[in-house]
């Protein structure tokens, strides 16, 4: 169960949407630094930029033209990738109604005490967000999904951050309690990208996320900064679009809510004075040979390796041809059928057909 | 598995799984050769990246904190020509004479670095471990029972100016009839390896103007699409047998998706222009949206020839929700698998042969020769796509035109029209018509 | 659609059409012509833009510094070319391997049906060389082609630049598609042989024997054909159209134009400067007419055109060195090409966003199919209007019967003369199509002519002799049936052609539609005059004359010998079109002989109808 959960969705595909993946990975990196572990993070990336063949810096994603920090890193876990990022999977994830064989890392293991941070980026419009250029999620669907989560007691508080064009329209229809929403641009405005990295040849980050990250870099796990400072993170002169926020559904006063209540996680550590002895690994390994496990109980295998290319068997099988009736027989059969037909129905029907 | 390795294994379903009859055999011990339990599937468009390497490394006993696995940093590994991660799981005997057996997990990582660029950039011909992997070796994994580094110097031993530092133990392997393989072994668990140097960084050099002639492998497969347009097409495989006097028996297995309507009567196998009928053809046709085409062939390739396998197909239209989000890119067709037992003198770096140092994960074959499994290129097939921007407009427009336009034209062409005088209408009809006319204010009938 | 089922409203429409028929015809024809003349002006032409967001043109920093290497390689190539006396395959092989490419060669052999006098070849043997830069982390599923055609006297610098670019590209890690550097011999025949072997399909009527091709790289996504014969260039000319009027996706020329603007290199189309403000209409019209004539000739503008038939978007880049001040060095051109290939590398999907059918009045504006289709539709509607009038004349209803009481009695169709005329016309069309190929050998021996002249004169002979067939009809009104059939056939032919190759259909429609409508036995002189002007021979002659006049940099018609010169060149064009049809699969000759000529001959019969 995650008490502090993060869901990140990058909904765009193709190389020219590099900046959306960089957005998501930058927030991921900040949040991991502030303490939320991978098991509490669900990351959905619609396309792979790091190992994309077009990337001149393989296995890296940068959010800055100076290329100082590789936000992809060495220890990244992408839960939903490629074609798996669909509206259906996202909504199922939120509501917990995933197929029975979904692994734990792809489930949102939250309960009524969880604070969930949801960050979405991609291409959006008035009232919808595009998923991978082929489908959309509307603001009404999103609001309904949150309401289902509330009814099923799957969250305590949600912070919803959206960096797309006309992002404000996405939170206008929310009606469930305890949701605070921040969006990067108003209805009718476009959310713009920040700058180009000319050695990679793409826009590397969006304006809102760039200033958001600048702000988050100053946060550490013991910071006392509050959530309402997020609203002022990107003024119009920097973002060019006007960020918006929605606080009416949130029960507490946002100037008292710490940023680390959503972006970080406090792990409970218990100090134990009892001494536990652990057998050495070498001892464990040497006691195995010859011992039969429970699962292998009763299964005896001969010490024989299978023939990897059973040519003789194949040739034998190839020689057995399936039996077909001879061609002349088929011809005669159809001639008989036609004769019987015309005899029964008479010649006048021939003129009808022709 | 998909959650563990961050890979999309959940996309494997019955539309891309086949049950090969002869292509794959169990690689572990046991006499279970019941094919009904064997399944083979591949996802040709998956990408391998750091998120797959990280859990792979976490399965190792020392993770990537100590031992050989410290070399595996994503940045250098993925900046190469080819990389492949593998997990193999099979039952093996504990000792050759012991009746006991247990499970063996083998993790493989294959990387091909670009030698051409390296030599041009640095000006000399050669490499060091840190130039390939970005760092040297600090020490072995303490809980490993065996930790070894082998450098294959078979091809460059005779080069002028050849040097290898630091010196290790030279191991010479004889394999097959006429080829010797030489390796230099560094045993990381021996204290002498790290006695002189704190960090092990083998470096190999040879003269810049010497041209390394590596022998090409005996068996080579190429696969490509033929045809023009979005309706018909064909797939051709070229199998090259480069051995001068041995003919090779190979098993060619193909999985084609159901929406490529393959015509099995167009299957032709030719060698140097003449027909070369396969000894075994196992073809299982597809069922729409249920299973893919499965084609298995047993071919005999004469020495020093090129054999061509051709098959024709037609593309089917999918329903517009079945297209992937990047529908104009095309769909990927999985690689064909070519299995052959190659004679031992095959020049493929020698690491494949039974007696080689890394043979413990290879299945033992009783014939002389070793198993070679080649995967061909994946293919990209363009599909005819509808206009995704306005599918409902198109449907409505065409339905309207067909319903109204076609209907009227059909009536004009096949019927003759005669006007009927409405004054001849019968009683009740005239009465009703007069009611309406009175209301309209026009003369009655 | 109640209009069509209600006999009374149908009758009213029919009466309207019959009464105002000639006015409507003239109006529609004039509308079509005026619409075409207005095409270069806004709002019918719109400014160009790049529709495919993935291209990201010009965003990435160009790093190509191989200018001196390109120059030295081109000198070496020229020297080796002179040494070998043809394509220096060994040198190319060695150089490409030393640059790190994977080299494959293909030998091909084509036997033309008769000798080609212009290119001086008959039995063609050649070699194509292809060097492949494999993408590092991609699975060789897609490829881009940089094509340099081998020309005996030119194109050395293109070769040097291509090799130097390939060397630069080999060292980079950001390729998602393989890059093929392709050198082909014997211009169009070589590239046709390579494409046929690569795609495993033969789109021509000749058998091309080729060796097994190696180095398959997956589906070809785009191709650039480079022609560069000087160390510096003042402008880059884009060559667009391919065989049978095919055009590349509009994004590709837009991409190159955008990058040229970025690099401050002059970019032109049809070898004409961009239209200036003061004379905008005529200059745009000039460019558009040249493109239309090029497409109408069904001959590709350069070797890139043959890629278009295989659904590979391709563009020809020809560097021109004129007397302008600003010169672009090889390095600058190399950076331009690098930008183009990096943008093409960014694509994930094949080109599908922008237009495939368009007319370019300049590189800054385009006319889409929705805007130019009405002019052809307006002109073709005239044929169908005339057909409606003829049909009404043949099936007079009660009202009309009273007016022509005596002359009516539509009787039965004079089957023999009408069907006979149709069959003879089509038979002569087939004879005209097959005759020159089959009979040229005999004609050459008998008349002691060079082979290709024999071909064209045979065609001419068959054509002229067909004019003199007897035209005796059985009934005075029988010609109406024949004319109706001919009008409908011509209308369907031009309509179908309009969808495939609009400029050709439009240029054929302009003379043939008036001739078809006017031709009647009662207006003998007028119809004969118009029909002669509309005959396939004269149409192609006029097309050739227009092309010569409009060609900005070619010799003028005076220099080419006036009218006699035009006629001789026309004969050569005739044999060339037969040759191209056989060796490349262009469709001009079959269209004229199997499609247009029978219609025209039927109308000729109508004009000379004797009772």
- Range from B3-7, B76-80, B249-253, B321-325 carrying the lowest mean pLDDT: B3-7
Q: For B92-107, what is the mean pLDDT?
A: 74
What's the CA gap between C262 and B96, in Å, rounded?
71
Residues A185 and A323 in one domain: no
Confidence of residue A292 (pLDDT cuts 50, 70, 90): very low
Please, are residues B438 and B445 in contact by the beta-carbon 8 Å criterion? no
Dihedral, C165, C168, C171, C173 alpha carbons, nearest 10: -70
Residues B181 and B150 in one domain: yes
Please, are residues A55 and C176 in contact by the beta-carbon 8 Å criterion? no
Confidence of residue B31 (pLDDT cuts 50, 70, 90): low
Please, are residues C486 and C424 in contact by the beta-carbon 8 Å criterion? no
Q: For C28-34, what is the mean pLDDT?
A: 95
Q: Which of C61, C335, C342 best probes binding to A when mutated, by most A CB atoms within 10 angstroms?
A: C61
Would B20 be classed as within a structural domain?
A: no
| Residues sharing a CB contact under 8 Å with residue B194, sequence separation 6 or more, in sequence order | B139, B188, B200
CA distances to B271, C219, C356 from C308, in Å: 32, 13, 11
Residues A29 and A167 in one domain: yes
- Any idea what the CATH number is for the domain that residue A146 is in? 3.40.50.1460
For A274, the token pair is: 């009892």
Would A291 be classed as within a structural domain?
A: no
Q: For B41-55, what is the mean pLDDT?
A: 90
Cβ B279–A134 below 8 Å, yes or no? no
Cβ contacts (< 8 Å) between A56 and chain C: which residues?
172-174
Answer yes or no: is pLDDT of C206 > 80: yes
Kindly report the three-state secondary structure assignment for every residue of C408-441: CCCCCCCHHHHHHHHHHHHHHHHHHHHHHHHHHH
Cβ contacts (< 8 Å) between C219 and chain B: which residues?
225, 330, 380, 382
Residues A197 and A345 in one domain: no
Q: Could you tell me which of C463, C342, C320, C301 has the C-alpha nearest to residue C58?
A: C342
Residues B52 and B179 in one domain: yes
Confidence of residue C445 (pLDDT cuts 50, 70, 90): confident
β-sheet bridge partners, residue A6: A41, A117
Of B22, B93, B325, the CB nearest to A314: B22
Residues A92 and A16 in one domain: yes
Query: In the complex, which subunits touch C with 3 or more CB pairs below 8 angstroms?
Result: A, B
Closest-CA residue of C relative to B79 is C173
Residues A208 and A320 in one domain: no
Phi, psi of A257 (to 5 degrees): -95, 125
Please, are residues B164 and B183 in contact by the beta-carbon 8 Å criterion? no
pLDDT in tens, A51-106: 999 999 999 999 888 888 899 988 889 999 999 999 999 999 999 999 998 998 89
Residues B165 and B119 in one domain: yes
Answer yes or no: is pLDDT of C525 > 80: yes
Q: Are strands C235-239 and C266-269 parallel, antiparallel or unpaired?
A: parallel
Q: Cβ of A134 under 8 Å from any chain B Cβ? A: yes
Between B409 and C267, name the one with better pLDDT: C267
Q: Which of A132, A306, A315 best probes binding to B when mutated, by most B CB atoms within 10 angstroms?
A: A306
Cβ A78–B25 below 8 Å, yes or no? no
CA-based max dimension of chain C = 91
Confidence of residue B349 (pLDDT cuts 50, 70, 90): very low
Name the active-site residue from A20, A40, A123, A194. Answer: A123
What's the CA gap between B175 and B141, in Å, rounded?
31
**Residue at a domain's end among A223, A245, A263:** A263
Cβ A54–C54 below 8 Å, yes or no? no
Cβ contacts (< 8 Å) between B265 and chain A: which residues?
none
Answer yes or no: is pLDDT of C473 > 70: no
CA distance C137 to chain A (A): 5
Cβ contacts (< 8 Å) between B81 and chain C: which residues?
134, 136-137
CA distances to C550, C559, C560 from C555, in Å: 10, 6, 7
Give me Rg for the CA atoms of chain A.
31
All structural domains of chain C, each given as residue ranges with its CATH number in brackets, are 53-363 (3.40.630.10), 408-607 (no CATH)
Would A282 be classed as within a structural domain?
A: no
Residues B249 and B162 in one domain: no
Q: Which of B75, B114, B220 best probes binding to C when mutated, by most C CB atoms within 10 angstroms?
A: B114
What's the CA gap between B95 and A339, in Å, rounded?
75
What's the CA gap between C314 and C312, in Å, rounded?
6
Residues A117 and A185 in one domain: yes
- Any idea what the CATH number is for the domain that residue B333 is in? 2.60.40.740
> Does residue A51 have an active-site annotation?
no
Would A271 be classed as within a structural domain?
A: no
For A191, the token pair is: 């959310």
Answer yes or no: is pLDDT of A285 > 80: no
Would A173 be classed as within a structural domain?
A: yes
Name the active-site residue from A2, A5, A10, A165. Answer: A165
Answer yes or no: is pLDDT of A7 > 80: yes
Cβ A201–C56 below 8 Å, yes or no? yes
Give residue B177's domain range. 47-206
For B267, the token pair is: 């299957």
Residues B225 and B367 in one domain: yes
Q: Cβ of A59 under 8 Å from any chain B Cβ? A: yes
Answer yes or no: is pLDDT of C399 > 70: no
Here the ipTM equals 0.86
Rounded to the nearest integer, the mean pLDDT of chain C is: 88
Residues B362 and B232 in one domain: yes
Would B367 be classed as within a structural domain?
A: yes
Number of C-beta neighbours around residue B127 at 10 A: 17
Please, are residues A74 and A62 in contact by the beta-carbon 8 Å criterion? no
| Residues sharing a CB contact under 8 Å with residue A334, sequence separation 6 or more, in sequence order | none
- Range from A195-209, B267-281, B364-378, C518-532 carrying the lowest mean pLDDT: B364-378
For B187, the token pair is: 């045993």
Residues B277 and B374 in one domain: yes
Judged by DSSP in three states, A138 sits in: strand
Q: Cβ of B253 under 8 Å from any chain A Cβ? A: no
Would B365 be classed as within a structural domain?
A: yes
Kindly report the three-state secondary structure assignment for every residue of C506-542: HHHHHHHHHHHHHCCHHHHHHHHHHHHHCCHHHHHHH
CA distance B28 to chain A (A): 6
Dihedral, C533, C535, C538, C540 alpha carbons, nearest 10: 130
| Residues sharing a CB contact under 8 Å with residue C126, sequence separation 6 or more, in sequence order | C87, C107, C108, C109, C184, C185, C186, C189, C190, C193
Judged by DSSP in three states, C358 sits in: strand
Residues B191 and B267 in one domain: no
For C558, the token pair is: 């005076």
Q: What is the pLDDT of residue B17?
A: 92
pLDDT more than 70, % of chain C? 95
Residues A204 and A87 in one domain: yes
Q: How many CB pairs under 8 A join A and B?
A: 162
Answer yes or no: is pLDDT of C156 > 90: yes
Q: Cβ of C205 under 8 Å from any chain B Cβ? A: no
Closest-CA residue of A relative to B362 is A305
Please, are residues A43 and A36 in contact by the beta-carbon 8 Å criterion? no
Indicate if the alpha-carbon torsion angle C587, C589, C590, C592 is positive or negative. Answer: positive
Q: Is the peptide bond before B166 cis (omega within 30 degrees of 0)?
A: yes
Residues A115 and A243 in one domain: yes
What would the DSSP string read from start to end of A198-231? TTTTEEEEEHHHHHHHHHHHT--TT---BGGGGG
Please, are residues C144 and C221 in contact by the beta-carbon 8 Å criterion? yes
Residues A243 and A332 in one domain: no
- Range from B135-149, C384-398, C575-589 carrying the lowest mean pLDDT: C384-398
CA distances to B130, B409, B417, C250 from B403, in Å: 72, 10, 20, 35
Q: What is the pLDDT of residue B362?
A: 46
Residues B373 and B412 in one domain: no
Judged by DSSP in three states, C327 sits in: coil
How many distinct structural domains can be found in chain A?
2
Answer yes or no: is pLDDT of A278 > 90: no
**Residue at a domain's end among B381, B402, B422:** B381
Number of C-beta neighbours around residue A183 at 10 A: 28
Cβ A15–C136 below 8 Å, yes or no? no
Q: What is the pLDDT of residue C268?
A: 93
Please, are residues C155 and C105 in contact by the beta-carbon 8 Å criterion? no
Q: What is the pLDDT of residue B355?
A: 44
Residues A135 and A36 in one domain: yes
The helix or strand, by DSSP H or E, that contains position B226, with its residue range, turns out to be strand B219-226
Would B114 be classed as within a structural domain?
A: yes
Cβ B408–C214 below 8 Å, yes or no? no
Number of C-beta neighbours around residue C596 at 10 A: 22
Closest-CA residue of C relative to B114 is C136
Cβ C5–B80 below 8 Å, yes or no? no
> Does residue A234 have an active-site annotation?
no
Q: What is the pLDDT of residue A122?
A: 93
Residues B66 and B195 in one domain: yes
Query: In the complex, which subunits touch B with 3 or more CB pairs below 8 angstroms?
Result: A, C
Cβ A58–C59 below 8 Å, yes or no? no
Cβ B412–C199 below 8 Å, yes or no? no
Q: How far is CA B29 from the centre of its chain?
A: 26
Give residue A325's domain range. 312-353
Judged by DSSP in three states, C495 sits in: helix
pLDDT in tens, B269-279: 999 889 999 99
What's the CA gap between C169 and B116, in Å, rounded?
13
Question: What is the per-residue burial (b if ≥16 Cβ within 10 Å, else e) of A276-314?
Answer: eeeeeeeeeeeeeeeeeeeeeeeeebeeebbbbbbbeeb
Please, are residues A154 and A108 in contact by the beta-carbon 8 Å criterion? yes
Residues B358 and B333 in one domain: yes
- Range from B203-207, B269-273, C86-90, C141-145 carrying the lowest mean pLDDT: B203-207
Cβ contacts (< 8 Å) between A65 and chain C: which residues?
none
Cβ A82–B29 below 8 Å, yes or no? no
Rounded to the nearest integer, the mean pLDDT of chain A is: 86
Dihedral, C235, C241, C242, C243 alpha carbons, nearest 10: -140
Q: Could you tell me which of A176, A98, A166 has the C-alpha nearest to residue A130?
A: A166
For C30, the token pair is: 């004039």
Answer yes or no: is pLDDT of A174 > 90: yes
Answer yes or no: is pLDDT of C58 > 50: yes
Question: What is the per-residue burial (b if ≥16 Cβ within 10 Å, else e) of C288-320?
Answer: bbbbbbbbbbbbbbbbbbbbbbbbbbbbbbbbb
Half-sphere exposure of C517 toward its Cβ, with a 13 Å CA cutoff? Answer: 24
Cβ A200–C175 below 8 Å, yes or no? no
Helix, strand, coil % over all residues of chain A, rounded to 5: 35, 15, 50
**Residue at a domain's end among B357, B381, B405:** B381
Would B22 be classed as within a structural domain?
A: no
Would B198 be classed as within a structural domain?
A: yes
Residues A122 and A225 in one domain: yes
pLDDT in tens, B407-429: 878 887 888 777 777 666 677 87
CA distances to C456, C531, C580 from C574, in Å: 6, 20, 10
The helix or strand, by DSSP H or E, that contains position A196, with its residue range, turns out to be strand A193-197
DSSP label of B200: B
- Range from B225-229, B259-263, B401-405 carrying the lowest mean pLDDT: B401-405
Residues A148 and A11 in one domain: yes
Number of C-beta neighbours around residue B240 at 10 A: 19
β-sheet bridge partners, residue A154: none
Please, are residues B317 and B384 in contact by the beta-carbon 8 Å criterion? yes
- Range from B107-111, C280-284, C358-362, C402-406 carrying the lowest mean pLDDT: C402-406
How many distinct structural domains can be found in chain B?
3
DSSP label of B218: S
Q: Which of A13, A14, A16 best probes binding to C when mutated, by most C CB atoms within 10 angstroms?
A: A16
What's the CA gap between A299 and A157, in Å, rounded?
53
Answer yes or no: is pLDDT of A129 > 90: yes
- Range from A34-38, A44-48, B161-165 carrying the lowest mean pLDDT: B161-165
Would B7 be classed as within a structural domain?
A: no
Residues B198 and B120 in one domain: yes
């Amino acid at each position: 169960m995650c008490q502090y959960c993060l869901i990140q969705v990058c909904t765009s595909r193709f190389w020219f949407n590099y900046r959306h993946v960089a957005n998501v990975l930058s927030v991921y990196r900040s949040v991991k630094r502030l303490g939320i572990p991978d098991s509490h993070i669900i990351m959905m990336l619609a396309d792979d930029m790091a190992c994309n063949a077009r990337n001149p810096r393989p296995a890296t994603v940068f959010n800055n033209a100076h290329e100082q920090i590789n936000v992809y890193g060495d220890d990244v876990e992408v839960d939903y990738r490629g074609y798996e990022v669909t509206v259906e999977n996202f909504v199922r994830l939120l509501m917990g109604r995933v197929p029975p064989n979904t692994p734990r890392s792809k489930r949102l293991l939250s309960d009524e005490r969880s604070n969930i941070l949801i960050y979405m980026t991609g291409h959006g419009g008035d009232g919808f967000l595009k998923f991978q250029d082929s489908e959309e999620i509307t603001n009404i669907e999103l609001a309904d999904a949150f309401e289902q989560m509330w009814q099923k007691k799957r969250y305590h508080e949600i912070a919803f951050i959206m960096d797309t064009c006309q992002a404000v329209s996405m939170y206008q229809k929310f009606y469930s309690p305890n949701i605070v929403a921040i969006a990067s641009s108003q209805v009718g405005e476009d959310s713009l990208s920040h700058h180009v990295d000319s050695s990679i040849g793409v826009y590397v980050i969006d304006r809102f996320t760039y200033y958001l990250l600048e702000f988050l870099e100053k946060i550490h796990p013991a910071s006392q900064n509050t959530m309402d400072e997020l609203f002022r993170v990107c003024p119009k002169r920097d973002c060019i679009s006007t960020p918006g926020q929605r606080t009416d559904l949130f029960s507490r006063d946002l100037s008292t809510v710490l940023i680390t209540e959503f972006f970080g996680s406090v792990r409970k550590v218990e100090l134990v004075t009892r001494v536990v002895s652990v057998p050495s690994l070498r001892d464990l390994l040497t006691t195995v040979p010859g011992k039969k496990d429970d699962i292998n109980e009763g299964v005896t295998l001969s010490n024989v390796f299978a023939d990897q290319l059973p040519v003789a068997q194949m040739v034998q099988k190839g020689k057995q041809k399936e039996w077909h009736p001879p061609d002349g027989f088929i011809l005669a059969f159809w001639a008989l059928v036609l004769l019987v037909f015309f005899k029964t129905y008479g010649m006048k029907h021939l003129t009808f057909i022709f | 598995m998909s959650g563990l390795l961050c890979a999309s294994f959940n996309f494997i379903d019955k539309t891309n799984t086949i049950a090969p009859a002869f292509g794959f055999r169990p690689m572990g011990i046991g006499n279970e050769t019941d094919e009904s339990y064997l399944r083979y599937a591949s996802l040709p468009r998956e990408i391998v990246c750091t998120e797959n390497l990280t859990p792979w490394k976490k399965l190792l006993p020392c993770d990537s904190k100590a031992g050989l696995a410290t070399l595996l940093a994503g940045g250098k590994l993925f900046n190469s020509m080819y990389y492949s991660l593998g997990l193999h799981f099979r039952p093996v005997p504990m000792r050759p004479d012991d009746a006991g057996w247990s499970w063996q997990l083998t993790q493989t990582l294959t990387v091909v670095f670009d030698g051409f660029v390296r030599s041009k950039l640095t000006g000399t011909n050669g490499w060091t471990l840190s130039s390939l992997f970005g760092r040297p070796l600090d020490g072995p994994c303490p809980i490993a029972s065996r930790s070894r580094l082998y450098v294959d110097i078979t091809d460059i031993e005779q080069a002028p100016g050849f040097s290898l530092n630091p010196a290790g133990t030279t191991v010479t392997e004889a394999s097959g009839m006429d080829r010797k393989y030489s390796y230099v072994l560094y045993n990381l668990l021996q204290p002498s390896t790290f006695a002189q140097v704190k960090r092990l960084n083998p470096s190999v050099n040879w003269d810049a103007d010497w041209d390394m002639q590596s022998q090409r492998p005996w068996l080579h497969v190429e696969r490509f699409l033929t045809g023009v347009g979005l309706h018909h097409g064909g797939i051709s495989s070229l199998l090259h047998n480069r051995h001068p006097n041995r003919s090779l028996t190979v098993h060619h297995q193909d999985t084609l998706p159901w929406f490529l309507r393959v015509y099995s009567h167009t299957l032709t196998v030719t060698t140097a222009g003449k027909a070369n009928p396969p000894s075994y053809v196992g073809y299982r046709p597809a069922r729409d949206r249920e299973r893919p085409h499965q084609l298995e062939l047993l071919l005999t390739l004469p020495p020093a020839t090129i054999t061509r396998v051709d098959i024709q197909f037609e593309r089917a239209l999918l329903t517009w929700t079945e297209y992937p989000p990047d529908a104009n890119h095309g769909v990927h067709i999985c690689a064909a698998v070519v299995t052959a037992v190659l004679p031992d003198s095959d020049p493929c770096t020698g690491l494949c042969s039974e007696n080689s140092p890394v043979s413990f994960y290879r299945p033992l074959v009783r014939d002389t020769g070793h198993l070679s499994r080649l995967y061909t290129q994946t293919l990209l097939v363009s599909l005819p796509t509808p206009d995704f921007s306005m599918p409902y407009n198109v449907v409505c427009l065409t339905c309207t035109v067909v319903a109204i336009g076609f209907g009227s034209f059909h009536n004009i062409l096949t019927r003759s029209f005669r006007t009927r005088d409405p004054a001849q209408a019968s009683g009740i009809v005239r009465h009703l018509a007069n009611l309406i006319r009175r209301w309209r204010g026009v003369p009655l009938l | 659609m109640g209009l069509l089922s209600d006999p009374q409203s149908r009758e009213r429409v029919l009466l309207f059409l019959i009464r105002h028929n000639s006015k409507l015809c003239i109006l529609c024809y004039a509308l079509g012509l005026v619409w075409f003349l207005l095409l270069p002006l806004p709002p019918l032409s719109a400014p160009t833009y790049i529709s495919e967001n993935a291209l990201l043109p010009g965003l990435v920093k160009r790093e190509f510094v191989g200018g001196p290497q390109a120059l030295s390689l081109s000198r070496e190539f020229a020297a080796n070319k002179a040494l070998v006396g043809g394509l220096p395959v060994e040198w190319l092989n060695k150089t490409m391997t030393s640059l790190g490419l994977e080299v494959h060669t293909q030998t091909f052999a084509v036997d033309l049906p008769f000798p080609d006098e212009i290119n001086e070849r008959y039995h063609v043997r050649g070699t194509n060389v292809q060097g492949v830069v494999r993408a590092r982390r991609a699975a060789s599923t897609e490829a881009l082609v940089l094509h340099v055609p081998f020309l005996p006297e030119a194109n050395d610098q293109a070769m040097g630049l291509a090799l130097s670019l390939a060397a630069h590209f080999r060292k980079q890690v950001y390729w998602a598609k393989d890059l093929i550097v392709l050198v082909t011999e014997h211009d169009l025949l070589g590239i046709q042989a390579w494409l046929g072997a690569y795609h495993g399909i033969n789109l021509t009527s000749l058998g091309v024997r080729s060796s097994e091709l190696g180095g398959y790289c997956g589906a070809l996504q785009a191709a650039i054909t480079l022609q560069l014969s000087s160390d510096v260039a003042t402008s880059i000319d884009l060559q667009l159209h391919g065989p049978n009027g095919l055009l590349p996706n509009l994004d590709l020329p837009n991409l190159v134009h955008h990058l040229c603007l970025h690099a401050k290199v002059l970019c032109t189309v049809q070898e004409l400067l961009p239209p200036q403000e003061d004379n905008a209409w005529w200059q745009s019209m000039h460019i558009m007419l040249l493109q239309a004539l090029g497409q109408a000739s069904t001959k590709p503008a350069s070797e890139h055109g043959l890629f278009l038939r295989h659904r590979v978007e391709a563009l020809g880049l020809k560097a021109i060195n004129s007397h302008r001040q600003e010169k672009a060095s090889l390095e600058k051109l190399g950076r331009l090409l690098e930008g183009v290939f990096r943008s093409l590398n960014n694509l994930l999907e094949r080109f599908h966003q922008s237009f495939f059918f368009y007319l370019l009045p300049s590189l800054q504006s385009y006319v889409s199919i929705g805007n130019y289709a009405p002019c052809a539709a307006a002109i073709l509607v005239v044929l169908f209007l005339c057909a409606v009038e003829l049909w009404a004349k043949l099936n007079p209803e009660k009202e009309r019967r009273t007016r022509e009481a005596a002359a009516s009695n539509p009787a039965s169709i004079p089957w023999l003369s009408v069907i006979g005329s149709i069959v003879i016309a089509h038979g002569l069309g087939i004879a005209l199509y097959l005759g020159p190929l089959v009979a040229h050998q005999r004609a050459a021996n008998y008349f002691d002519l060079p082979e290709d002249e024999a071909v064209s004169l045979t065609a001419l002979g068959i054509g002229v002799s067909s004019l003199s067939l007897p035209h005796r009809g059985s009934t005075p009104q029988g010609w109406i049936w024949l004319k109706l059939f001919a009008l409908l056939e011509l209308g369907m032919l031009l309509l179908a052609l309009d969808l495939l190759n609009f400029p050709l259909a439009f240029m054929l429609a302009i003379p043939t539609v008036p001739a078809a409508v006017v031709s009647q036995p009662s207006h003998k002189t007028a119809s004969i005059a118009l029909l002669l002007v509309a005959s396939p021979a004269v149409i192609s002659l006029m097309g050739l004359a227009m092309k010569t006049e409009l060609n900005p940099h070619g010799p003028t018609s005076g220099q080419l010998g006036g009218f006699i010169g035009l006629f001789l060149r026309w004969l050569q064009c005739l044999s060339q079109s037969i040759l191209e049809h056989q060796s490349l699969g262009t469709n001009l000759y079959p269209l004229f002989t199997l499609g247009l000529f029978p219609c025209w001959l039927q109308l000729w019969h109508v004009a000379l109808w004797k009772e």
